[in-house]
Amino acid sequence: MKKLNPIIHSALRLAVISLLITLEEADFNLILSETKSTAGNLSVQLTKLEKVGYITIDKTFKGKKPNTVCKITKKGIREFDVYVKNLKSYLNI
């Protein structure tokens, strides 16, 4: 049986990756709203995903307000696909 990727298997990181698979990119506030996370916890989990190369984080300003946009990478898409395949195998689907 294939091992499930522990980076993706975390509930919040899985929610973020799933959202970005669908949208390709999203700003911090949208991800925060959709995941119902706290800003601090989301920030930590986004950093973990960025460190392994599954997402990129672009911090800019819109006027005087900070704007953080997260995008899924090709590596993130590949790893998510492998995760789903392994999960299906685990569940015998």
pLDDT classification of 78: cutoffs 50, 70, 90: very high
Q: What are the distances in angstroms from CA 46 to CA 64, 65, 68, 81, 90?
A: 23, 20, 11, 19, 26
Please tell me the predicted confidence (pLDDT) of residue 35: 97
Q: What are 19-74's pLDDT values in tens digits?
A: 999 999 999 999 999 999 999 999 999 999 999 999 999 999 988 998 999 999 99
- Regarding the domain delimited by 6-88, which CATH topology (the fold level of the hierarchy) does it fall under? Arc Repressor Mutant, subunit A (1.10.10)
Please tell me the predicted confidence (pLDDT) of residue 42: 98
Please tell me the predicted confidence (pLDDT) of residue 1: 67
Other CB atoms within 10 Å distance of the CB of residue 93: 7
pTM for the whole thing?
A: 0.91
Q: What are the distances in angstroms from CA 58 to CA 27, 37, 46, 55, 81?
A: 9, 20, 11, 10, 24
pLDDT classification of 87: cutoffs 50, 70, 90: very high
Q: Where are the domains of the chain?
A: 6-88
